[in-house]
Protein backbone atom coordinates (compact mmCIF):
# COMPACT_ATOMS: atom_id res chain seq x y z
CA UNK A 1 0.00 0.00 0.00
CA UNK A 2 2.75 2.46 0.96
CA UNK A 3 4.68 1.94 -2.25
CA UNK A 4 1.48 2.50 -4.24
CA UNK A 5 1.18 6.06 -2.92
CA UNK A 6 4.78 6.76 -3.94
CA UNK A 7 4.29 5.23 -7.38
CA UNK A 8 0.97 6.98 -8.07
CA UNK A 9 2.35 10.38 -7.04
CA UNK A 10 5.41 9.79 -9.22
CA UNK A 11 3.33 8.64 -12.17
CA UNK A 12 1.01 11.64 -11.85
CA UNK A 13 3.93 14.12 -11.74
CA UNK A 14 5.62 12.39 -14.69
CA UNK A 15 2.43 12.32 -16.79
CA UNK A 16 1.50 15.95 -16.07
CA UNK A 17 5.03 17.07 -16.93
CA UNK A 18 5.22 15.15 -20.19
CA UNK A 19 1.70 16.13 -21.25
CA UNK A 20 2.35 19.82 -20.54
CA UNK A 21 5.60 19.74 -22.55
CA UNK A 22 3.89 18.02 -25.45
CA UNK A 23 0.99 20.49 -25.51
CA UNK A 24 3.06 23.66 -25.18
CA UNK A 25 6.04 22.65 -27.31
CA UNK A 26 4.42 20.51 -30.01
CA UNK A 27 0.77 21.61 -30.15
CA UNK A 28 1.05 25.32 -29.33
CA UNK A 29 4.48 25.36 -31.04
CA UNK A 30 5.89 27.90 -28.61
CA UNK A 31 9.26 27.84 -30.45
CA UNK A 32 7.53 29.51 -33.42
CA UNK A 33 6.70 32.54 -31.22
CA UNK A 34 9.99 34.44 -30.62
CA UNK A 35 8.43 36.72 -27.99
CA UNK A 36 6.66 33.82 -26.31
CA UNK A 37 2.97 33.26 -25.72
CA UNK A 38 1.38 35.45 -23.06
CA UNK A 39 -0.73 33.40 -20.67
CA UNK A 40 -1.24 35.77 -17.73
CA UNK A 41 0.88 38.77 -18.71
CA UNK A 42 3.23 39.87 -17.31
CA UNK A 43 3.25 37.13 -14.66
CA UNK A 44 3.24 34.01 -16.84
CA UNK A 45 4.51 33.56 -20.37
CA UNK A 46 5.30 30.43 -22.36
CA UNK A 47 8.80 30.75 -23.84
CA UNK A 48 10.71 27.96 -25.52
CA UNK A 49 13.93 26.84 -23.90
CA UNK A 50 16.41 24.00 -24.25
CA UNK A 51 18.24 23.35 -20.99
CA UNK A 52 21.37 21.28 -21.30
CA UNK A 53 22.36 21.98 -17.70
CA UNK A 54 20.43 21.96 -14.44
CA UNK A 55 18.03 24.55 -12.98
CA UNK A 56 18.42 28.10 -14.27
CA UNK A 57 20.88 26.92 -16.92
CA UNK A 58 23.63 26.12 -14.43
CA UNK A 59 26.32 23.72 -15.59
CA UNK A 60 25.39 24.13 -19.24
CA UNK A 61 27.26 21.65 -21.36
CA UNK A 62 26.75 20.62 -24.94
CA UNK A 63 28.77 17.43 -24.65
CA UNK A 64 27.28 13.97 -24.75
CA UNK A 65 29.22 13.17 -21.59
CA UNK A 66 27.46 15.99 -19.70
CA UNK A 67 24.08 14.83 -21.00
CA UNK A 68 24.55 11.24 -19.86
CA UNK A 69 26.15 12.31 -16.57
CA UNK A 70 23.02 14.34 -15.74
CA UNK A 71 20.82 11.38 -16.73
CA UNK A 72 22.84 9.11 -14.43
CA UNK A 73 22.71 11.60 -11.53
CA UNK A 74 18.93 12.01 -11.91
CA UNK A 75 18.40 8.26 -12.00
CA UNK A 76 20.67 7.73 -8.97
CA UNK A 77 18.80 10.36 -6.95
CA UNK A 78 15.44 8.89 -7.97
CA UNK A 79 16.52 5.39 -6.97
CA UNK A 80 18.01 6.69 -3.72
CA UNK A 81 14.83 8.52 -2.73
CA UNK A 82 12.68 5.51 -3.66
CA UNK A 83 14.80 3.09 -1.61
CA UNK A 84 14.98 5.50 1.35
CA UNK A 85 11.20 5.95 1.46
CA UNK A 86 10.55 2.25 0.88
CA UNK A 87 12.82 1.20 3.76
CA UNK A 88 11.59 3.75 6.31
CA UNK A 89 8.25 4.25 7.96
CA UNK A 90 7.55 7.26 5.79
CA UNK A 91 4.24 9.04 6.23
CA UNK A 92 1.75 9.26 3.39
CA UNK A 93 2.72 12.92 2.94
CA UNK A 94 6.41 11.96 2.64
CA UNK A 95 5.53 9.32 0.04
CA UNK A 96 3.62 11.90 -2.03
CA UNK A 97 6.50 14.39 -1.87
CA UNK A 98 8.96 11.64 -2.78
CA UNK A 99 6.77 10.66 -5.71
CA UNK A 100 6.66 14.26 -6.94
CA UNK A 101 10.45 14.49 -6.82
CA UNK A 102 10.95 11.15 -8.58
CA UNK A 103 8.28 11.80 -11.22
CA UNK A 104 9.72 15.23 -12.02
CA UNK A 105 13.27 13.90 -12.20
CA UNK A 106 12.21 11.08 -14.53
CA UNK A 107 10.30 13.56 -16.71
CA UNK A 108 13.50 15.51 -17.27
CA UNK A 109 15.44 12.26 -17.82
CA UNK A 110 13.06 11.32 -20.66
CA UNK A 111 13.68 14.73 -22.26
CA UNK A 112 17.47 14.31 -22.05
CA UNK A 113 17.28 10.83 -23.57
CA UNK A 114 14.89 11.84 -26.39
CA UNK A 115 16.16 15.33 -27.24
CA UNK A 116 19.55 15.71 -25.59
CA UNK A 117 18.22 18.54 -23.41
CA UNK A 118 15.29 19.36 -21.15
CA UNK A 119 12.34 21.16 -22.71
CA UNK A 120 11.50 24.29 -20.73
CA UNK A 121 8.62 26.65 -21.41
CA UNK A 122 7.45 28.46 -18.25
CA UNK A 123 8.61 32.03 -17.66
CA UNK A 124 7.45 34.06 -14.70
CA UNK A 125 8.17 37.78 -14.32
CA UNK A 126 6.72 40.33 -11.99
CA UNK A 127 6.78 43.87 -10.82
CA UNK A 128 9.00 45.29 -13.57
CA UNK A 129 11.58 42.53 -13.21
CA UNK A 130 12.11 40.63 -16.45
CA UNK A 131 13.12 37.08 -15.52
CA UNK A 132 15.19 35.58 -18.37
CA UNK A 133 14.92 31.99 -17.11
CA UNK A 134 12.48 29.30 -18.20
CA UNK A 135 11.57 26.09 -16.43
CA UNK A 136 9.00 23.31 -16.67
CA UNK A 137 6.55 21.49 -14.43
CA UNK A 138 9.09 18.74 -13.72
CA UNK A 139 11.26 21.40 -12.10
CA UNK A 140 8.28 22.51 -10.00
CA UNK A 141 7.62 18.92 -8.92
CA UNK A 142 11.30 18.35 -8.09
CA UNK A 143 11.47 21.53 -6.02
CA UNK A 144 8.14 20.90 -4.25
CA UNK A 145 9.06 17.27 -3.58
CA UNK A 146 12.49 18.11 -2.16
CA UNK A 147 11.08 20.93 -0.04
CA UNK A 148 8.31 18.67 1.25
CA UNK A 149 10.78 15.91 2.13
CA UNK A 150 12.85 18.40 4.10
CA UNK A 151 9.97 20.15 5.87
CA UNK A 152 7.80 17.13 6.60
CA UNK A 153 10.31 14.38 7.28
CA UNK A 154 8.32 13.27 10.33
CA UNK A 155 11.16 13.77 12.81
CA UNK A 156 10.28 15.60 15.97
CA UNK A 157 12.62 18.37 17.11
CA UNK A 158 15.04 17.29 19.86
Active site residue 111: no
Q: How far is residue 2 CA from its own chain's centroid?
A: 23
Q: How many CA atoms lie within 13 A of 54 on its CB side?
A: 12
The residue annotated as part of the active site, out of 38, 111, 139, 153, is 139
Active site residue 139: yes
Q: Catalytic amino acids? A: 120, 139
Amino acid sequence: MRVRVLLWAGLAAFAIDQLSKYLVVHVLRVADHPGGIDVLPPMLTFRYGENRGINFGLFQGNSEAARWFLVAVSLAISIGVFVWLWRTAASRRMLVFGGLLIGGALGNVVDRVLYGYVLDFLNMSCCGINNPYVFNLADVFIFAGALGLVLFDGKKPS
